[in-house]
Amino acid sequence: MTDLYRSLVSKHQDQVYSLARYLLADASEAEDVAQETFIKLWKNLENIGEAHIVPWLLKVTRNGCLDRLRARKALVELDEQDLPIVEKDEPSAIEGHRRMQETLMAMIQSLEEPWRSLLILRDIHEHSYESVGEILELKPNQVKVYLHRARNKLAELFEVQQNGLTNHE
């Protein structure tokens, strides 16, 4: 049992940590949630079918993160003014790319559920529609429809930010 547990840690720790890191936007809290998730895995390992381990892990991770976000009282809701501004005269292409990534990350983190989780699970971590559905308790068709909406919401947010930037200039 311990060997199985250890192999699961090796295989899935990055996915668990990365999901928590995106949802919480905090490295230390993400580590805490990852630990809590794997403690639950260790205690429930016998009851989880092998095919369901990844969705189970990510579902527990997400729930742990949402609990913490609720406890924070103020969800990570960044308004447009708080988003990093992508300046046009970047010092370098690499720096520009990095800032763009930070902006997108902050925008995704500012979305509400389930849009945020959908984008993180499907578009960043590339889980299958079936897995995402199992994690979020949605049917695969619902995942596709909701994901489409989530992408549109992100695009709208991005456009607002870009327009704000243009007006700012």
What is the rounded distance in angstroms from the CA atom of residue 40 to the CA atom of residue 103? 34
What is the rounded distance in angstroms from the CA atom of residue 107 to the CA atom of residue 79? 9
Instruction: Return the number of the residue (93 or 137) whose C-beta is nearest another protein.
Output: 93
Instruction: Return the number of the residue (139 or 148) whose C-beta is nearest another protein.
Output: 148
Instruction: Return the number of the residue (75 or 124) whose C-beta is nearest another protein.
Output: 124
Binding site for another protein (CB under 8 A): 1-2, 5-6, 9-10, 13-14, 16-18, 21-22, 27-28, 30-32, 34-35, 38-39, 42-43, 100-101, 104-105, 108, 119, 123-126, 151-152, 154-155, 158
Q: Nearest approach, Cβ of 38 to another protein (angstroms)?
A: 5
Instruction: Return the number of the residue (34 or 136) whose C-beta is nearest another protein.
Output: 34
CB 107 within 8 A of CB 93: no
Instruction: Return the number of the residue (52 or 97) whose C-beta is nearest another protein.
Output: 97
What is the rounded distance in angstroms from the CA atom of residue 119 to the CA atom of residue 141? 15
Q: Nearest approach, Cβ of 156 to another protein (angstroms)?
A: 9
Q: Nearest approach, Cβ of 21 to another protein (angstroms)?
A: 4
| CA angle, 86 then 87 then 92, to 5° | 100
Q: Nearest approach, Cβ of 94 to another protein (angstroms)?
A: 13
| 132, 154, 110, 120: CA torsion to nearest 10 | 30
Tokens of 12: 């899935």
Smallest CA-to-CA distance from 79 within 104, 99, 106 is with 106
